[in-house]
Amino acid sequence: MATARAKTSDRKTARPSNPTAMDRVKLARDAKRPHLKDFIANVFDDFEELHGDRLVNDDRGLVGGFASLGGFNVLVLGHNKGETVEENMASNFGMANPDGYRKAMRLAKLAERFRNPVVTFVDTPGAYPGREAEERGQAEAIAKSLEFFAALRTPVVVVVTGEGGSGGALAIAVGDRVLMMENAVYSVISPEGCAGILWRDGSKAPEAAEALKITAPDLLKLGAIDEIVPEPAGGAQKNRKAACSAVKKAVLAALKDLAGMPVDELVERRYARLRAMGDFY
């Protein structure tokens, strides 16, 4: 089954150019790429945002709310980098606090209660590393989120749209279908961070990017994702609406595929998928 998906995805995403891993990192970080609000506006209808974790505050780095898509009522969750400098600052450039992950779990529990699928959008350098975040239990919130989404009794579709950075990304990336935009990246560490640790030389980031296998084609081959969503020539920032349209088509297809699956089988398959991560033989 995975092989069939891989062949289909390879065929869909063939491109004449051959960008390097670092080229894709730069595209993934491009400030003009579609942000969460672009996907909400162009993929879904009737979005209604819900706020707060009911414990501390309303983290603007992770936004969630209910919407409709092609006959499905869904919960939309996503990292919110913001577009203007003011929005960037308010949302910590998409780096969520523990409050954001606890909000995500609170809303996902509502989705489970009403049998609504969950669609998550991943685009973050990583979880917010500030002192207050650590004091409020950043690591615990991420770990709890992983456990929570692994057992959630409703379909979960994940879309990595830009940067998929470390645990901050993974916390809302446990799903039944993991889609990844063509020029997105997904990794345990940034290329610069990896180069600094291995060689104490940030200029070797391009070498680290290649070695980390963080691009969509690499991750598809490794089985870490299910499908690559094609982007317009030159990257999603060249035509946001076209990029959003491609994401909409892929998400809707995934939702239709998962809709008829019994809940027990859905959760069992998701667990088996997680257990198989890293088994390349």
Residue 42 has pLDDT above 90, yes or no: yes
pLDDT digits (tens, 9 = 90+) for 211-223: 999 999 999 999 8
Note the pLDDT of residue 274: 87
Closest CA to 183 of 59, 76, 34, 80: 34
Whether the full predicted model's pTM is greater than 0.85, yes or no, is yes
Which residue bears the tokens 């730069």?
26
In a domain, residue 170? The reply is yes
Evaluate whether 168 touches 123 at the Cβ level (below 8 Å): no
- 6 contact partners, CB below 8 Å, separation of at least 6: 220, 221, 223
Instruction: Report, as an integer, the average pLDDT of 227-232.
Output: 96
Report the pLDDT value the prediction gives residue 12, as an integer from 0 to 100.
Answer: 44
* 64-84 average pLDDT score: 94
Q: Is residue 177 part of a domain?
A: yes
Q: Tell me, what's the pLDDT at 281? A: 67
Strands 227-229 and 185-187: unpaired
* Structural domain includes residue 102: yes
What confidence category does residue 17 fall into, taking pLDDT thresholds of 50, 70 and 90?
A: low
35 contact partners, CB below 8 Å, separation of at least 6: 80, 81, 82, 83, 123
- The phi and psi torsions of 156 (rounded to 5 degrees) equal -130, 120
Assess if residue 53 is contained within a domain.
Answer: yes
Q: Is residue 206 part of a domain?
A: yes
**Position 238 in a domain:** yes
Token representation of residue 110:
């509502």
Would you say residue 18 lies in a domain? no
Q: How many CA atoms lie within 13 A of 88 on its CB side?
A: 6
Is residue 7 over pLDDT 70?
Answer: no
Residue 54 domain boundaries: 2-13+31-275
Label residue 50 by pLDDT band (50, 70, 90). very high
Note whether 8 and 254 are within 8 A (CB): no
Q: How confident is the model at residue 8 (pLDDT cuts 50, 70, 90)?
A: very low
Asked if residues 177 and 159 have their Cβ atoms less than 8 Å apart, the reply is no
Q: What is the CATH number of the domain that holds 102?
A: 3.90.226.10
Is residue 250 domain-resident?
A: yes
Q: How many domains does the chain have?
A: 1
**Per-residue pLDDT, 280:** 66
Contacts of 21 (CB under 8 A, 6+ apart): 185, 191, 206, 209, 210, 212, 214, 215, 218
Mean pLDDT of the chain: 90
